[in-house]
Amino acid sequence: MPKSKDTQGTALRVSRFERETSWLSFNQRVLQEAMDPAVPLLERLKFLAIFSSNLDEFFRVRVASLRSLMNLPESELRNLEFDPIVLLKRIHTIVKEHQRQFGVIYKEHILPELHQHNIAIIDHRQLTRSQIRYTKMYFNKSVKHLLQVVPLKDSSTAPFLVNDALYHVVKVRRRQRKVAAPNNLIVTPKGPHERFLVNIPSETLPRFFQLPEEPGGRHSVMFLDDVVRLCLPEIFSQHHILGCYSIKTTRDAELYIEDEYEGDLVEKIKRGLEKRDTGVSTRFLYDYHMPRSLVQSLRSVFSLKKEDLIVGGVYHNFFDFFGFPDFGKSELKNPEWEQIEHPLLHKTTDIFAEIDKQDHLLHVPYHSFKPVINLLQAAAQDKHVTSVRLTLYRAAADSAVIKYLIEAARNGKDVTAFVELKARFDEEANLYWATLLEEEGVNVLYSMPGIKVHSKALVVTRDDGETKSYYAYLGTGNFNEKTAKLYSDTGLFTTDDRLTKEVRRFFDVLGGKKLKKPFKHIVTGSPDMRNIFMELIDREIEFAKSGEKGSITLKMNSLEDSKIIAKLHEAAQAGVKLKIIVRGICCYVPSGKLKKNVRIISIVDRYLEHSRIFVFNNGGDKRYFLSSADWMKRNLSRRIELAFPVYDEAMKLELKTFLDIQWHDNVKARIVDKHQVNEYKLRSTEEPVQSQREIWKWLKQKADDESNAASA
C-alpha cells in the first residue's frame, strides 16, 4: 500500500484501488444504465453495447499488458508491487459476475420489454414456415458466398482466429451408406466425428436480420448467427450435424506496452514478447453449451492456455447492438436534445471580431461544434490569415477539420498539423490523414519517439497590415465533429496574449525547438504538469493549516497517479475539502475520518463525461484550469499534455455553474467509496437533479437570453 509523508514526517497510509478493478467498477456503472427502467429501452440496449465494447478493449489492452508481465523472469516478478497472477484471477472473478448480471438484464428484462413493444429477438427454432423460406432466400443470396468452412484437425493446420470475429464450431459426422449386416439387418455404420470452423460474416453484413413485419405490427429480428445455424444442413449436406457452438477470441492489441508501463520494464517485457506469436489471445469465449471434451480439443488446436478460456453465451459481440434497428419507435429512444447554437459565435459574420471582444467557452455536445469549424473555415478563407497550427489526435471519418486545413494550405497559408500516429486504435486513420495533409502542402509534424502528444490546441495568426492578432481554441477533447456529439467536453476561444503567445511557443517545441524558458501560464507534460498541480495542492494545504479555507474541486475521467493521490490524501489530512467528479478509474479510496473531507462521485449518463476541469480555492482568488490530461501516470509521465488557466471572470463563473450542477446530480451520480458497489447518490427528500439535462436547460436558457438581449 503506497505511503506518503506529511510535513511533520508522519507516514500517511493511502488506501488505493487497483487500476483494473476500479475500471471494472466503472464498467459496472455502465451496466447499471442498461438495468435502469427510467432509461428508454433502446438506449438500454446501447448501454449493453457500450459495456461489451469497453470489456473487449479492456482485455485487448489491460489484460494483455498484465499477461505480458508473465514473460518476465521470476526475480523481476518479485520486484513488482503486485502479483499479476492474483490480480488476473480477481479480474476474471469480477468479469464473470458482471457477465452474469449482463445475462440477467438481457434475458429477464430487455427481451421481455422488447416483446411488450412488438419487437422479438428470435432464433432459428422459432421461425414459421414462411419465415424459414424467407431466411433461406436471404442466406443463399447474401450470406452463403461469404462463408469460409475450414476443418479443425490439429494446431499445425489451425486457421487464424481474427480478433473479435465471430465463428461457429460445427461438430458433424459424415453420412454413411446403409449396408447389410450378417443377420440381414440394414445398419448405418458410425463414422468418426469431424469439426469445422464456419465464420459469421458480421463485418460485411448487418448482425441483425429483419424478418417481414407480421400482422399487428410485430417485428421479428434474428441474429446473423442464427441465419447461419438454420442453413447448416445446406453447408454440410453430406453430414449429420451433431452440434453447433459459437466462439470468439480477443487478441492482445500489442502496440501499447509503452502506454501501460515505463522505463526498463518496457524493454524487459518487449524482450519476452519477441518469443511469442503476433497478437496472442487474451480471451477465448465459448458457448456454455459446448461439451468439455470439445473445449479441451479446441484448446489444443488453437494452442490456448487455461487462463484464456472463458465461458460465454450463445452470442458474442454484443457491441453490435449499436446497430440494432429501431423500427421507427422513437418513444423507445432518448428524446432529442437539440444542439444549442452558441449565441454569440454562431450568428456572427466575423468570428475573429467576436473573439476579439471577449473569451468564449464552448460546452459540447450541448453546444454545437460549429464555432470551431467556422473558425477553421474563416482561417482558410480570410485573406489576412497567415498561419494555422493544430494538434490532431483523432479526426472524424468525413472531417471538416481536415477539409479546411487543406483549403488553408491551398490558399497559401502556412499550415502546420501535429498528427499523433500512436493514438490508440486510430493509428491507421491518422497515418492516412497525415499523408493526405502532406500531399496537400500542409507541414505535418509526426509523433515523437516514446511519447504521445495528447494536447488539444489550435492557434490562428492574422495580420491585416496594421495589427498582428492571434486566436486560440484550447480544449479538453479532440478536433472531431463526431465525438463532439457524444462526448461532454469544454473548450476556450481566446485572444489573451498570455495564452496565445505561449501556445505558439508550444507548437515551436512540437516542431523540435528547445524550450528556452519555462511557460508561465500554460502547463505542459512531464514533469511540469504533475509538479505544478502538486504545488497548487500544497498551497491549499498551507491555507488549511493556517486556519483559512482550503478547497479543491476536480473533474476528470481518471484519477490514478500515485504521487498525486498521496498529495490529495495529505491535503485531506490537513483539512482541505476535496470534491472530485471522476467518470472512470478512481484509485483513491477515501475512508475513515477523511470521508468528511473527501467526497467522490461518478456520473454515467447519455453523454460520455470527458472534460477535465480543476479548481483551486487559492485563498478566495480561485484558479480554474481546463486540461487534455487526466491524473494518470501515463498522462503525467509519458505524454505531452496541455492544461491552461481560465482568466476571464465571466468564464470562471460559467465553469462554476457547470460544476455546481454536476455536483448536485442525484439521479445519475454514484458514490465512489471503498466498497465499489456504485450506490446511487439519490435522496428521496431532494428534488431530482439529472445534471446533463439541467446543463442543457441552463445553456439553452443562457443562449436564449443572450440572443434576446442582442436583438433588443
Residue 425 is placed in which grid cell?
486504435
How many angstroms separate the CA atoms of 455 and 423, rounded? 12
- Predicted local distance difference test score (pLDDT) of residue 70: 76
State percent of the chain over pLDDT 90. 74
In which band, very low, low, confident or very high, does the pLDDT at 263 lie, cut at 50, 70 and 90?
Answer: low
Return d(Cα 44, Cα 105) in angstroms, integer: 10
Question: Residue 4: is its pLDDT beyond 70?
Answer: no
| Confidence at residue 6, expressed as pLDDT on a 0 to 100 scale | 42
Higher pLDDT: 270 or 675? It is 675
Q: Which residues contact 593 (CB under 8 A, 6 or more apart)?
A: none
Which domains does the chain possess? 19-332 (3.30.1840.10), 351-510 (3.30.870.10), 523-711 (3.30.870.10)
**pLDDT recorded at residue 259:** 56
Pick 127 or 347 by higher pLDDT: 127
Q: pTM to 2 decimals?
A: 0.90
- Note the pLDDT of residue 185: 58
Other CB atoms within a 10 A radius of the CB of residue 547 amount to 8
Q: Which of 219, 239, 454, 569 is catalytic?
A: 454
360 counts as catalytic: no
What is the secondary structure of 261-311 as a DSSP string?
--THHHHHHHHHHTTS-TT-EEEEEEETTS-HHHHHHHHHHTT--GGGEEE
Question: What mean pLDDT, rounded, does the chain reach?
Answer: 90
Angle between helices 400-410 and 427-439 (to 10 degrees): 20
Q: Coil, helix or strand for 438?
A: helix
Q: How confident is the model at residue 92 (pLDDT cuts 50, 70, 90)?
A: very high
Structure-model confidence comparison of residues 445 and 255, the more confident one: 445
Q: How far apart are CA 200 and CA 165, in angstroms?
A: 8
Please say if the pLDDT value at position 8 is more than 90: no
What is the per-residue pLDDT across 189-230, written as a single tens digit (0 to 9) for each? 566 789 999 999 999 999 999 999 998 899 999 999 999 999
Residue 249 CA to residue 482 CA, distance in Å, equals 29
For residue 26, the model assigns a pLDDT of: 97
Q: Side-chain half-sphere of 233: how many Cα atoms within 13 Å?
A: 4
Helix residue ranges, H only, 511-597: 528-545, 562-574
CA distance 342 to 354: 12
pLDDT in tens, 619-648: 999 999 999 999 999 899 989 999 999 999
Q: Are the C-beta atoms of residues 445 and 415 closer than 8 Å to each other?
A: no
- Who's near 326: CB < 8 A, 6+ residues apart? 42, 332, 333
Whole-number pLDDT of residue 282 = 85
The confidence score (pLDDT) of residue 651 equals: 98
At 451, the pLDDT band (50, 70, 90 cuts) reads confident
Between 687 and 468, residue with greater pLDDT = 468
* Lowest-pLDDT choice from 2-6, 360-364, 405-409, 668-672: 2-6
**Which pLDDT value is given to residue 277?**
44
Question: What pLDDT score does 13 carry?
Answer: 55
Does the structure show a pLDDT above 90 at 257? Answer: no
Residue 307 pLDDT class (50, 70, 90 cuts) = confident
Q: CA 712 to CA 705: how far, in whole Å?
A: 10
pLDDT digits (tens, 9 = 90+) for 154-196: 998 999 999 899 999 999 998 876 655 566 655 555 667 899 9
Across 395-422, b (16+ Cβ under 10 Å) vs e yields bbeebbbbebbbbbbeeebebbbbbbbb
Residue keyed to cell 473479435: 164
Q: Is the pLDDT of residue 2 over 50?
A: no
Among the listed ranges 34-38, 78-82, 470-474, which one has the minimum average pLDDT value? 78-82
Indicate if the pLDDT at residue 679 is higher than 90.
yes
Q: Kindly indicate the confidence band of residue 269, based on its pLDDT and cuts at 50, 70 and 90.
A: very low
pLDDT higher than threshold 90 for residue 127 = yes
